[in-house]
Structures are given as C-alpha cells and as structure tokens.
Amino acid sequence: MEAIKVEHEPTAERLEKLGVFGWPVWTKEVSEFPWVYDEQEVCYFLEGEIEVTPEGGAPVKAGKGDLVTFPAGMACTWKVIAPVRKHYRFG
C-alpha cells in the first residue's frame, strides 16, 4: 500500500501545472469519520488542519498550504482538527 504523500508549501508553478485552482472545493467542519479511497485523491488545503490515520498505519497531519496525495485502496479515519476548505481531484 502506498503512503499518504504530503508536500508542504508547493510552488505556485506546481499548483498551476496541476490546475489546482480549477478543481472543485470541499469543506468540512470539525469532525471524525471513516473513509475509503476507491481511487487516488490529490488535494490542496486552503484552510484547516487534519489528521488521517490509515488502517494499520501511523497518523499523518496536513493542513493549510499542503498538497496531499491519498492512494487508491486506502481505508482510513479522518479527524478534522480545524475546519477544512480544500481543492480536490479524484483519479
């Protein structure tokens, strides 16, 4: 199983190349919930802070300014520590 990949403060060029600012936006209040990734998700955090714990793995923290890749097939628990606003793309 691939790991969650967190890029702290990616360059504007990288974000532009990926087309991040054209992706849909997802928001979530402080909460905790299980999630399974049917396909890969790449997201860029505009606001907030999260801790995602893959099944059988160590927790990974991410938040504002991070570009995060979640691998396909991963089951995990999302803990939203501070309200989230992020751009996201599946597949």
Return the pLDDT at 12: 97
**Model confidence, pTM:** 0.96
pLDDT for 57 equals 95
Single-letter amino acid code for the residue at 36? V
Q: What is the pLDDT of residue 72?
A: 97
pLDDT in tens, 15-41: 999 999 999 999 999 999 999 999 999
- Structurally, the chain folds into a number of domains equal to 1
Q: CATH no. for residue 27?
A: 2.60.120.10
Residue numbers in the chain where pLDDT is lower than 50: none
Give the domain range for residue 54: 5-90
DSSP 14: H
Q: Which pairing describes strands 31-36 and 75-90: parallel, antiparallel, or unpaired?
A: antiparallel
Q: 72 in helix, strand or coil? A: coil
Among 71, 72, 26, smallest CA distance to 50 is for: 26
- Predicted confidence at residue 53, as pLDDT, reads 98
| Residue that the structure tokens 């505009």 belong to | 46
Q: Which residue has the tokens 């999630």?
A: 35
Q: Residue 89 has what pLDDT? A: 98
Instruction: Give the pLDDT score at 88.
Output: 98
